[in-house]
A = this chain, B = another copy of it.
């Protein structure tokens, strides 16, 4: 069967193609109700499916959202191994689908601009995960579409933002260890960059130490990458190098799982010898043995909120003052990797 065209619909309804086009593009005010009904009947009878490419040229609405995931050499690994991204994308896709949008998922190669993709595809908006160089954000602004940054501390009113209070999260994690009697707490973390998520969690760690009157020792901070491998290396190191540390705050669950495995491989037990707390609550954390005590952020919900905020911005459905930033709540999830050492056994 040949695909029905707009001309077929017009002929079937006995009107001009321009009239059909008005109706399809929502400018029905110019057309009588009777005619509108005739056109809808024809559309139904001919099983006519609107071509979004054509519509987007007229309406300047593609109903397409861009979603960028970090994909540099380092970060390709991240997407593959860090369930964080897949869970977020799942949340974005579901919300977008509910609201009649599709998502184009893409990485950005090093040095490549996203400008091309946005313009080529007539994106209505974009959600950006990951941290990029300043130039990248400046270019994004040139596209003049609403953009939601996930987990970004960029100070620029142009962007919408969805995230968590990472400093508070770092504080919660460290305080949980302190409340369980730990006084010498190592921080195992990805690289601490100014205004990055990791820096905020690090500040929370220092804040909790300070509040408890504990000494902050830079030698207890093990900074490298947000990977299982980094955790593994430091877990082995801590286990084999006595320095009276009793607990570890890992700024991501993946790192925490590496730390635990590194310790167990070198003959130590978690939580009997070392307590470990993570951050994120990725699904593996429940499955892992021992299951991981961690700071839970609802990752799927974060994706859904990012999509909802973006679509709201696109459709300008804000009632009064538009929401520019959404912060999600955080909780300590107690599982099996933190031991209370103030109770002597």
The interface centre, meaning the residue of A102, A105, A106, A257 with most chain B CB atoms within 10 A of its CB, is A105
How long is the Cα–Cα vector from A54 to B121 in the complex, in angstroms? 10
A90 near B97 (CB under 8 angstroms)? no
How many copies altogether? 2
Q: How far is the CA of A174 from the CA of B115 in the complex (A)?
A: 52
A266-286 CB mask vs B (1 if < 8 Å, else 0) is 000000000000000001100
Verify A53–B49 contact, CB threshold 8 A: no
Q: Are A53 and B50 in contact (CB under 8 A)?
A: no
Interface contact A289-B287, CB-CB below 8 Å: no
Q: Fill in one digit per residue for A1-14: 1 if any B CB lies within 8 Å of its CB, else 0.
A: 10100000000000
Q: Which DSSP category, helix, strand, loop or mixed, fits chain A's interface?
A: helix
Task: Answer whether residue A15 sits at the interface, using C-beta atoms and an 8 A cutoff.
Answer: no
A104-B103, A261-B287 in contact; A54/B51 too (CB < 8 A)?
A: no
Residues of A280-316 whose CB lies within 8 A of B = 283-284, 287-289, 300
Q: A38-46, A75-83, A150-158: which one contacts chain B?
A: A75-83
Among the listed B53, B83, B93, B104, which residue makes an inter-chain contact with A83, where contact means beta carbons less than 8 Å apart? B83
User: Is residue A166 contacting chain B, with contact meaning CB distance below 8 A?
Assistant: no
Partner of A51 from B120, B142, B289 at Cβ < 8 Å: B120
Chain B nearest CB: distance from A25 CB in Å?
A: 14
- For residue A59, give the distance in angstroms from its CB to the closest CB of chain B: 11
Residues of B within 8 A of A99 (CB): none
B interface footprint on A246-270 (CB within 8 Å = 1, 0 otherwise): 0000000000011011001000000
- In the complex, what distance in Å separates the CA atom of A260 from the CA atom of B287? 10
| The one of B49, B80, B258, B300 that contacts A116, using a Cβ cutoff of 8 Å | B49
Cβ-based interface call for A22 (8 A):
no
Chain B nearest CB from A70 CB (Å) reads 11
Q: Are B3 and A53 in contact (CB under 8 A)?
A: no
Q: In the complex the two chains form, is A87's CB within 8 Å of B97's CB?
A: no
Closest chain B residue, CB of each to CB of A142: B1
Measured between beta carbons, the chain B residues less than 8 angstroms from A62 are: 53
A196 touches B (CB below 8 Å): no
Whether A102 and B121, one on each chain, are in contact in the complex, defined by CB atoms closer than 8 angstroms, is yes
Complex CA distance for A81 and B76, rounded to whole angstroms:
19
With both beta carbons as reference points, the residue of chain B lying nearest to A264 in the complex is identified as B289
Q: Taking the complex as formed, is A208 at the interface, i.e. its CB lies under 8 A from any CB of chain B?
A: no
**B53 touching A76, Cβ below 8 Å:** no
A334 to chain B, nearest CB (A): 17
Establish whether residues B228 and A287, one from each chain, have CB atoms under 8 Å apart when the complex forms: yes
Per-position binary interface string of chain A over residues 163-200, scored 1 when its CB falls under 8 Å from any chain B CB and 0 otherwise? 00000000000000000000000000000000000000
A140 to nearest B CB, angstroms?
14
Given A106-B93, A106-B97, A119-B51, the answer on whether A257 and B83 have CB atoms closer than 8 Å is: no
CB neighbours (8 Å) of A85 from chain B are 86
Q: List 12 A–B pairs whose Cβ atoms lie within 8 Å, in order of A's numbering.
A: A52-B120, A53-B53, A76-B94, A79-B90, A80-B283, A83-B86, A85-B86, A93-B106, A97-B106, A102-B106, A103-B106, A104-B105
Given contacts A49-B119, A94-B107, 14 further A-B contacts (CB under 8 A): A51-B57, A51-B119, A52-B121, A53-B53, A53-B57, A53-B121, A64-B104, A80-B87, A93-B106, A103-B104, A104-B104, A105-B105, A258-B287, A264-B289
